[in-house]
């Protein structure tokens, strides 16, 4: 009897076998390095894959593009690896590292174009580059950015590289003018390919500064020199990150309820 009780007592004292399902439900750490280590311990391959995608995104949010790249190489080739680069690219853009983000967008496959949009529109505005600078200086600043973009998009799939160049150029033109409080039209007279992007930025900032008096005709008068270029207070650079809704309503749409969508005339 005593032996039976001893056996039963020993059995009750033995630690229960770990349940993989319960382990899988344990919360993931936010620290990207700790999460990456956790991914290697996942029992289920499906969870290991999504874990690595999240780890790459966390590295991107921390501004660590190289570690994000290393994590994504551990994800099987195909849709999930492309998703990994998509998430990393987006987060790098949010962290203010748009060009580094493009390196991941170039590897994001089917997700590449969405990645480009989400990342490029986070290109930080350099307040030292504004419409008051000599036109040649603005062109030189763009040429430097364009070279970085070309390198970042090397090896991208057909169409992605071209679209990446276009949207980064568009964002550069937006950044030069919008929020600067200046509407000197001279930089916007540059020829293609930079000119159209700068003209869009010029038109948006002119509309913003004209306020209630803004109209297509008024903007064209500023462009042609018939009206003094409006000036005003600058907008803090971080407040313009992301997509922008133009505050100018078309003449036929005044008073009609509407939902602002992807704006900027781009």
Residue 258 lies in a domain: no
**pLDDT at residue 237 in the model:** 74
Residue 23 lies in a domain: no
Out of 122, 139, 164, a domain closes at: 122
- Considering the chain, what percentage of its residues have pLDDT values greater than 90? 73
**Domain range holding 40?**
29-122
pLDDT higher than 50, residue 235? yes
Domain co-membership, 179 together with 198: yes
Q: What is the mean pLDDT of the chain?
A: 87
Domain count, the chain: 2
Arithmetic mean of pLDDT, 217-231: 97
pTM beyond 0.85: the answer is no
**pLDDT at residue 239 in the model:** 67
Q: How confident is the model at residue 236 (pLDDT cuts 50, 70, 90)?
A: confident
At what angle are helices 98-105 and 135-152 packed, to 10 degrees?
40
Domain co-membership, 56 together with 139: no
**pLDDT at residue 26 in the model:** 75
> For residue range 132-174, what is the model confidence (pLDDT) as tens digits?
999 999 999 999 999 999 999 998 987 899 999 999 999 999 9
Domain co-membership, 137 together with 152: yes
Q: How confident is the model at residue 67 (pLDDT cuts 50, 70, 90)?
A: very high
pLDDT higher than 80, residue 129? yes
Residue 265 lies in a domain: no
Burial 69-96 (b: 16+ CB within 10 A, else e): bebbebbeeeeebbbbbbbbbbbbbbbe
End-to-end CA distance of the chain: 86
Out of 96, 122, 148, a domain closes at: 122
Alpha helix segments (H runs only) across the chain = 2-13, 20-24, 32-39, 45-61, 65-73, 79-94, 98-105, 112-120, 135-152, 160-177, 194-210, 216-224
């Amino acid at each position: 009897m005593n032996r039976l009780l001893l056996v039963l007592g020993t059995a009750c004292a033995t630690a229960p076998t770990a349940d993989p399902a319960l382990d899988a439900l344990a919360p993931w750490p936010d620290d990207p390095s700790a999460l990456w280590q956790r991914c290697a311990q996942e029992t289920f391959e499906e969870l290991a894959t999504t874990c690595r995608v999240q780890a790459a995104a966390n590295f991107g949010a921390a501004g660590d593009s190289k570690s994000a790249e290393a994590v994504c190489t551990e994800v099987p080739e195909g849709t999930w690896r492309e998703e990994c680069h998509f998430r990393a690219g987006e987060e790098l853009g949010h962290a203010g590292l748009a060009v580094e983000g493009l390196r991941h967008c170039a590897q994001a496959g089917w997700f590449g174009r969405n990645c480009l949009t989400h990342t490029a529109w986070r290109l930080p505005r350099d307040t030292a580059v504004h419409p008051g600078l000599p036109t040649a200086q603005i062109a030189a600043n763009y040429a430097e950015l364009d070279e970085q973009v070309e390198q970042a998009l090397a090896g991208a799939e057909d169409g992605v590289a071209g679209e990446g160049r276009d949207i980064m150029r568009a964002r550069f033109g937006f950044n030069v003018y919008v929020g600067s409080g200046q509407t000197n039209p001279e930089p916007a007279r540059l020829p293609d390919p930079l000119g159209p992007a700068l003209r869009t930025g010029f038109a948006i900032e002119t509309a913003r500064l004209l306020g209630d008096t803004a109209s297509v005709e008024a903007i064209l008068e500023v462009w042609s020199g018939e009206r003094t270029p409006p000036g005003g207070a600058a907008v803090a650079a971080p407040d313009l990150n992301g997509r922008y809704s133009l505050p100018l309503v078309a003449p036929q749409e005044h008073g009609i309820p509407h939902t602002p969508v992807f704006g900027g005339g781009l």
